Chains A and B, each alone.
Chain A
Amino acid sequence: MKDRLDEQTIALRAAREFPHGSVVNLGYGMPGLCANLIPEGRTIFFQSENGILGYGSLATDEEKDYEMINASDQPVTVAPGMCFFDSAASFDMIRGGHIDIVVLGAYQVSEKGDLANWGRPGRPATGMGGGMDLAVGASRVIITMLHTTKKEEPRLVRNCTFPLTAKQCVSLIVTDLAVIEVTKEGFVLKEIAPGWTVPEVQSLTEAKVTTATDLKEIEL
């Protein structure tokens, strides 16, 4: 089996999408790693739906304060200029279009950009948290995910079979195999993991993948 990118590398690639000065919300799991992987020289304002704008990074054990957490219950650090607000104000900010980018995990993404990231078969009691609000409200939705299930079943699909988070919301997908843009014409392969070929990526993707004219190896 060929090497796939690890979670840190996927998050590192996603974090390269954050423009200097942007407001970014990081979802549960792998997206949270982006907080520690910002490209040098850029200031990013991380928003978290529990009511914080402008936290630093994930906290070390010595820095931990359980009243200073992100929405994944991870302790984060204090940074100059940060501020706190309540949940209602936080979601005004989210739905009102003040979040430039949200990075979310996914179980499935469809070629139309539909996102399924909160419910899966056999787990009817897990909830969507703030995912639906973020997918609808953020200007740009970036997904970090594994390209397939452990059994190598595709998770980039024609139509999502898992419960939807929101329709036609995803702009970019960063997986352990590829960087894929979601366009009106469907998935476009922009970057590919080292050692992988286009037919190999296509064979692990249910929907058709168009190759970008400037396809390149994933750049970090």
Chain B
Amino acid sequence: MINKGMTTDKIFNTCDEAVADIFDGATIMVGGFGSFGGLPINLIVALAKQGAKNLTAIANMGGVGFELSKRIKPGGYQDLGIIFENGQVRKFIGSVPALGGMPPTSPIETLYNEGKVEIEMVPQGTLAERIRCGAGGLGGFYTPVGVGTVVEKGKEKKVIGGKEYILELPLTADFALIKAHQADTLGNLVYRRTARCFNPVMVTAAKVTIVEVDKLVPVGQLDPEVIVTPHVYVNRIVEVPN
């Protein structure tokens, strides 16, 4: 695919249009961290409506779903749990599928207990680094994290400088759903506070990246010294004012 340079072809009017071509069986990365603060929730809700099935979802957390969310924030909220509730996910790769401090009734945990979803549990730093490897064209890395635990199962081990490491492999995706604070029309991105988290990492590792932003600004308006994500990584932008 050829990058389209200084055009505004990346701008989509709605989240529904931006996620329309996510296909059955696709691997998707979803930015954010936990239930809020950086979760591209409008794109997630659009994907839930769109209905693509058999997805592999790569995200830090599996989401608590609307029912359990009421225990965390009055009135409740939507999070990644919605696409599990909808039965759209075949496999989840992440560090917190379900929260141990909550009842075992989140959508992902319910499905897992029924044998309807597969989970690959990855330590959080290893998750970030596997995505960075995938983005940067590397074949993997050796980490001490997980040595002597269930995480090392089936993985190559190596002693480097007298210390034990395990080999972890790269992750990439067909699509990434990302939340940023501002984009210029080229696709340069800046984030707000802790809503940064996994977003700048995942936006570099997918074939098609879809970004929801609080505000879209003209090219030249973002200070080049503070741009976090260079525009080459961004394919689609939807402005969703707060």
Q: Which residues of A contact B (CB under 8 A)?
A: 28-29, 48-52, 65-71, 73, 84-88, 90-91, 94-95, 118-120, 122-133, 136-137, 163-167
Q: Are B119 and A125 in contact (CB under 8 A)?
A: yes
Given A52-B194, A86-B198, 5 other A-B contacts at CB below 8 A?
Answer: A69-B37, A84-B196, A86-B197, A91-B125, A167-B149
How far apart are the CA atoms of A73 and B35 in the complex, in Å?
7
User: Which residues of chain B have C-beta atoms less than 8 A from A29's C-beta?
Assistant: 101
Q: Are A88 and B193 in contact (CB under 8 A)?
A: no
Pick 17 A–B contacts, CB within 8 A, sort by A: A51-B194, A52-B193, A67-B194, A73-B33, A73-B36, A73-B72, A84-B194, A86-B201, A87-B127, A87-B198, A95-B125, A126-B109, A127-B97, A129-B124, A163-B149, A164-B150, A166-B145
How far apart are the CA atoms of A163 and B149 in the complex, in Å?
7
Contact of A86 among B35, B99, B143, B200 (CB under 8 A): B200
Q: Which residues of B contact A (CB under 8 A)?
A: 33-38, 60-62, 72, 94-101, 104, 108-109, 112-113, 119, 121, 123-129, 131-132, 143-151, 191-201, 228
Knowing A73-B72, A125-B109, the reply to whether A87 touches B33 (Cβ < 8 A) is yes
Q: Are A166 and B148 in contact (CB under 8 A)?
A: yes
How far apart are the CA atoms of A119 and B228 in the complex, in Å?
35
How far apart are the CA atoms of A28 and B61 in the complex, in Å?
14
How far apart are the CA atoms of A139 and B182 in the complex, in Å?
37
Q: How far is the CB of B173 from chain A (nearest CB, A)?
A: 15
Knowing A118-B100, A136-B144, the reply to whether A88 touches B131 (Cβ < 8 A) is yes
Q: Are B95 and A88 in contact (CB under 8 A)?
A: no
Q: Are B124 and A69 in contact (CB under 8 A)?
A: no
Q: Are A136 and B194 in contact (CB under 8 A)?
A: no
Q: Are A67 and B195 in contact (CB under 8 A)?
A: yes
Q: Are A51 and B144 in contact (CB under 8 A)?
A: no
How far apart are the CA atoms of A131 and B95 in the complex, in Å?
10
A125, A128, A165 pick with most chain B CB within 10 angstroms = A125
User: Which residues of chain A have C-beta atoms less than 8 A from B200's C-beta?
Assistant: 86
Q: Are A127 and B192 in contact (CB under 8 A)?
A: no
Q: Are B100 and A88 in contact (CB under 8 A)?
A: no
Contact of A87 among B124, B143, B228 (CB under 8 A): B124
